Amino acid sequence: MLIIRTIDLFFRFMEFLIIVRVFMSWLPRAEYWPIYRFVYQVTEPLLAPFRHLFFRFLPPRGGFYIDFSPVFALITMNIVKNVAVALLLKVIY
């Protein structure tokens, strides 16, 4: 059960950081804050593949776009977490 709790804690932490990044992106000059740089460095490897995939099919027009990569990342992370926990429960029990 410790493994399952650790996995759950890890995914919750990453979800929290993604949500923090979304809110911090609305703040002016937040990219200069040390906490923002940390959040960016941790979450960018998760968000970049979704952003590239999304922009391949719907490129930004006129310099304005809404980045949906956090939404897709959160959904995918939730699915991966549920599958990992279900597999571990099958192995344990």
Model confidence, pTM: 0.87
Residue 61's beta-bridge partner residues? 64
With a cut of 90, say whether residue 35 has pLDDT above it. yes
Domain, as residue range, for 71: 2-92
By percentage, how much of the chain surpasses pLDDT 90?
75
The number of domains in the chain is 1
pLDDT confidence band for 93 (50 / 70 / 90): confident
Give the pLDDT score at 59.
76
- 78, 76, 27, 34: which is closest to 53 by C-alpha? 76
pLDDT confidence band for 61 (50 / 70 / 90): confident
Contacting residues for 67 by C-beta, under 8 A, at least 6 apart:
51, 54
